[in-house]
Amino acid sequence: MYGNVTGFTFNQFMEEIDNGRPVLIQLAGHCVLGFGYDQSGQYIYLHDTWDYSVHSMVWGQNYAGMLHWGVTVLRLAADYEPPLAEFTTSSVSICAGEMVQFQDYSLYSPESWDWTFEGAQNQTSGEQHPYVIYPETGVFSVSLTVTNAYGYDSKIIHSLINVGEPCYCQVNGNGEVFIEEIRFGNIISLTNYSQGGYSMIDNLSTMVYAGLRYPILVRVSSETPGISKCGVWLDWNRDMFFDENELIVLDRAGAGLYTGLVLVPLNSVTGGSRIRVQVNNDSYFYACGVCSGETEDYPFLIEDVQSSKQLMVKVFPEGLFQHGPGLLSKAKTELGNVFPDDIVDVVSIELTEAFAPFTQVFSSQNLTLNNQGLVLMRLPSSFNGTYYLIIRHRNSIATWSATAISFEGNSQFVDFTTSISSAYGQNLLSDGINALLYAGDINQDGSVNVNDIIIVESSATTFQMGYLLEDINGDGLIDAEDLIIVDNHAAQQTGIISP
């Protein structure tokens, strides 16, 4: 509190106002609030507490007959205080390579922040709320010094951040939409909604080879068309991070059905890796954190092409075969094609020993079948014996090769389309020109019979649509056309013929 005669000047009054601090003007017998000024004539603007209007007076003169004899300057204490350093962190226990966010909570208006992060990728920062990556394992201290015009303060927390071995981040969900089926190579997974919206399913796995393409199919439950989205990350460089360029967004191929083609990059790092499948109702995919949906992880193996050999098989599943052009038609749903590009459907190839009991030695499932009937498979070059092949298609009769085939060379081609003699027991359907896999084994029990007919009849009666086993001709509808084929082969007692 100053008397105006003791030295608080109009210039000082202006400085207070300029700094956003109103000044109490003491009059003889009253007190008013000065909040502005007019430099010419040394006018001050004030509120007099008697009304809501703006009034004015000349500095040091009278107002309403009362002499201006003093002022009270109001300054909040903090403006004179040095700051007090305080901070928190988003996490104190992470895996190497992960990021932590630090949140500044310092008191008394700090104006600059000086952070030190022991063990971090960038060990200093001048930001208020910095994001910090810790690439190495260890236990690390963090310090923050905050400064303002009146001083500074430091806070150090020793052994604050505990960085463990590298790991995959978790991503939780709420199950608004969830995964009930995944088909990707030898991963064939049927699940419900997992508590917490995340699960790592490590008893299933598959192998992939660089340069090859693998279809992926995901069925979801409780989807919201137009909102729900489905995508997969594959950790090609095996750095335990699902990067943006490792995300493949799947297409909605039918009600609750999402599909895509995984092309294995040539520069993938060989070894054990992980695929993350996510369905959510958010605007983005979240590799880590939380999403409105469900996420499932599976291990998979990126195999070395150099130490592998190739098998090419040509097959025509009867139901998809177009007799005129000699090509296969694409499996469809009510919305269109199930798979992109030239892929019509998927098949599996198994290798068995050449002698009884014909034990299976290798199996590769969900391989791409293209419109020319070609299926490309790779297998480790250690398979250099003689093996029977079994070709399986989702609603065809499983078909064995006529003889056991030598895998001595690096590349084999087996054609099941030119002659029924290419199959064991000549178990192929001839259309006069081509040999076709018999269709109709809906339940995949090895024969076409009344049980298959019952399944197709039931679905035809209720006008089922989609990518279903009952859809023999792949047009996305279950109807009489499918039933006729199953009826015919049931009458002929079509079934597997094996050595």
Report in angstroms how near the CB of residue 90 gets to Ca ion at its nearest. Answer: 22
Burial group, residue 93, by CB count within 10 angstroms (0-12, 13-18, 19+): exposed
Beta bridge partners of 303: 209
Min separation Cβ 490 and Ca ion, Å = 9
Closest distance of CB 265 from Ca ion, Å? 11
- How crowded is residue 254: how many other Cβ atoms within 10 Å of its Cβ? 21
Provide the minimum distance between the beta carbon of 339 and Ca ion in the complex, in angstroms, as a whole number: 17
Nearer to Ca ion, 16 or 318 (CB): 318
Q: How many CB atoms lie within 10 A of CB 20?
A: 7
- Minimum CB separation from Ca ion for residue 476, in Å? 7
Whichever of 48 and 471 has its CB closer to Ca ion, that residue is: 471
Shortest distance in whole angstroms from residue 310 CB to Ca ion:
27
Minimum distance, C-beta of residue 234 to Ca ion, in the bound complex (Å): 8
- Joined together, the tokens standing for residue 37 give 């000024």
Q: Which is nearer to Ca ion, 82 or 495 (CB)?
A: 495
Of 92 and 496, CB closest to Ca ion: 496
Q: How far is the CB of 276 from Ca ion (least distance, A)?
A: 10
Q: Can you give the binding site for Ca ion, defined by CB under 5 A?
A: 179, 191, 235, 237, 239, 241, 243, 441, 443, 445, 452, 471, 473, 475, 477, 482
Nearer to Ca ion, 318 or 482 (CB): 482
Between 153 and 482, CB nearer to Ca ion = 482
Write down the least CB distance from residue 126 to Ca ion, Å. 30
Q: Which is nearer to Ca ion, 74 or 484 (CB)?
A: 484
Which of 482, 487 has the CB closer to Ca ion?
482
Cβ-closest position to Ca ion: 191
**Choice between 246 and 303, CB closer to Ca ion:** 246
Tokens of 476: 């996305």
